[in-house]
Structure 1
Amino acid sequence: MAVRLVTGNRIAETSSKGNQEKWLEHDRWYKLDLFGYEGLAETVTSQLLQQSNIEELGFRYVTYCMERMNVHQRIRNGCSSPNFLMPGESILTLADLFRKGVGPDWQSVVARQPNLAGKVRWMVEQTIRLTELKQFGNYLTLLFEVDMLFGNEDRHLNNIAVLRRGEEFDYCPIFDFGAGLLSNVRDYPMDIEPRSHMKLLRAQPLNTTFTRQVRAVRSLYGPQLQWTFMVAEVTAALEEPLKFYAERDRAYIADRIKTCIHWQAAKL
């Protein structure tokens, strides 16, 4: 569960992965790398999603770009993204939506569901009841498929959200890909073969394998995500972001990312 600690105009977001500083300036959000190359993961993922059917399905995603920033008297890598909120809009996470609309014991209600598909169905039905977003099952399926494709294991219920405008709701652009592509070199060191790491990944919010999570949601709402990029497009997307990182690490990072996408795409 995320906790926001505000000091001045900076926010330190606490999640299952740790504290990552971010702040809003000139209508853009800036985030610092925390455990590895999160900025690169955000940037490459959003570039590759340009070659997908997300917009054809009627949904959106956040675009990220690499940044080098002078923070705390140090030069740091990270990324930035546009502030997608329109005047009068706010983000309401599913964790807050369920807390307000179902009650403080909503997690125990989810836990009583008989299986993974039952948990997914409950989350979707409650979201539709509270927001009237009738295609939320398709949206959630798409989100889980994107996370599986890029190995993003930090999709807790504070990273799934809807947009609120007064008493009306809309679908939130898909955001926060930084925990994907084996970016956390603390948990997944670069001196270990990438396929060994891939076997350890766990999907959120159901805390299971990506395959089981996607299978559960697809059993209810069918497949959603399609993409056209291949190895050449992944290589091209990596070219500029890799320049932000030490030259000695670039080949290792590129290999990890290509292995991750190839491995996950084959299973997806």
Structure 2
Amino acid sequence: MEAGALMKKIKIPIDAEPMISTSSKGDQSKWLVGNRWVKENTRGYENIAEYVSSLILECSTIPNTSFVSYVPCLIEKPDGTTTEGCYSIDFRGQLQEVTLERLFEANFEATDDILNNNAYSTEKKFNLMIEKIFQFTGLNVSHSLSQMLAFDAFILNEDRHTNNILFLYDSVTKIWKLAPLFDHGLSLLSDIKDYPLNIPISILKRKVKAKPFSSAFSKQLALYQGDPFIKRNLLVQKLEEAPYHLNRAKDVVLSQLQERSLQRLIID
């Protein structure tokens, strides 16, 4: 990435243990340094994908308390090597994090019973999941979760597995809440191993598969029945003003802004 000189360098303390974050495409090293989560690129330009996804959310009607912002950075490891990545502020506080997968396990059930049932339509799977979440937490997350899936369709997020949907639990008040939107590194065709830079975006976009209710972004997009929420003009302006070289991530966003199926998400 040519813009590396513009990035803040974060030094990983020698006693900091790397935590392995598992995605659908393998493991990624991350560290908690102070109140910052620092994540290393492993397959391409995940840091720029996170940053651009943050820009899109900033240019939306979604409250800024409902998503995590990411900043590209250089990572200086204890062995002296420097790599690229990004960082975000730790949003958990004193709350306990519980993934959707763990939520089901804690209630002696399995998400696979819903998600892998081929007799269920995408809508049926979604509605059953919403009912279970309400049963386990008292939360109605239908709107928030369907909007998350609509956003995933816009950014071509291929990593919305059941450990990337997170809930926060306050053990004192016994209150649950849905965690902010986070972890969009495997979006915007950031995986240059699977989506080579020399192949047209229009071709690559057709290869990307969605998660978790359907492999088709169009089917998951159809679950969202809310208002448009992405502000086109502001987003284009922010992309132009970005201090980093966004390269293909910017081109993917501009392409998505022209997709007919996504126009109902966009405010002109």
Do the two structures share a fold, i.e. TM-score over 0.5? yes
Q: Is the alpha carbon distance of 1:173 and 1:73 closer, same or farther for their aligned partners in structure 2, counting shifts above 3 Å?
A: same
Query: Does 1:78 pair with 2:82?
Result: no
1:114-168 CA-partner distances (Å, limit 9, x unpaired): 211110011111001111112x001101110111111111100000011111132
In structure 2, the residue matched to 1:10 is: 18
Matched with 1:69 is: 75
- 1:255 alignment partner, one of 246, 251, 255: 251
Q: Which residue of 2 aligns with 1:232?
A: 236
CA RMSD of aligned residues (A): 2.3
- Residues of 2 paired with 1:265 and 1:74: CA distance? 42
Name the SS of the counterpart of 1:240 in structure 2.
Answer: coil
What SS does the aligned partner of 2:47 have? helix
Determine the structure 1 residue equivalent to 2:107: 101
- When the two structures are aligned, how many residues end up with a matched partner? 245
Whether contact under 8 Å (1:145, 1:225) holds in the other structure is: no
Which letter maps to 1:211?
Answer: S
| Matching residue of 1:247 | none
Give SS of 1:114's match: coil
Whether the aligned pair in 1 keeps the contact of 2:40 and 2:84 (CA below 8 Å) is yes
Per-residue deviation at 1:223? 2.1
- Confirm whether residue 172 of structure 1 aligns to residue 179 of structure 2: yes
Aligned twin of 1:34: 42
Of the candidates 204, 209, 231, which is equivalent to residue 197 of structure 1? 204
Cα deviation for residue 91 of structure 1 reads 1.1
Hey, what does 1:20 align to over in structure 2? 28
- List structure 1 runs of 4+ shifted beyond 6 angstroms: none
Structure 1 contact 60–173 (Cα < 8 Å) conserved: yes
- Residues 207-249 of structure 1 show CA distances to partners (whole Å, capped at 9, x for unaligned) of 421111121x23xxx2255111336325325x3221xxxxxxx
- Between the two proteins, what is the percent identity of the paired residues? 27
Which of 196, 205, 223 is equivalent to 2:226? 223
1:126 alignment partner, SS class: helix
TM-score with structure 2 length normalisation?
A: 0.83
Task: Look up the match of 1:122.
Answer: 128
- 1:124/1:137 contact within 8 Å kept: yes
Asked if 2 retains the 8 angstrom alpha-carbon contact of 1:52 and 1:228, the reply is yes
Q: CA deviation at 1:190?
A: 0.1
1: CA distance between counterparts of 2:253 and 2:230? Answer: 17
Structure in which a larger fraction of residues adopt helix: 1
Cα deviation, residue 37, structure 1: 0.5
Shift of 1:204: 0.5
Deviation of residue 65 (structure 1)?
0.6
In the alignment, the residues of structure 2 paired with residue 255 and residue 225 of structure 1 have an alpha-carbon distance, to the nearest angstrom, of 21
Q: Secondary structure of 1:179's partner?
A: coil
Residue 245 (structure 1) aligns with = none
Partner SS for 1:174: coil
Cα-to-partner distance string for 1:59-99 (whole Å, 9 max, x where unaligned): 60001111111124322111100011122x02100011011
**Which residue is 1:3 aligned to?**
none
Q: Secondary structure at the match of 1:91?
A: strand
Pair 1:139 & 2:144 matched? yes
Task: List alignment gaps of at least 5 residues for structure 2.
Answer: 1-14
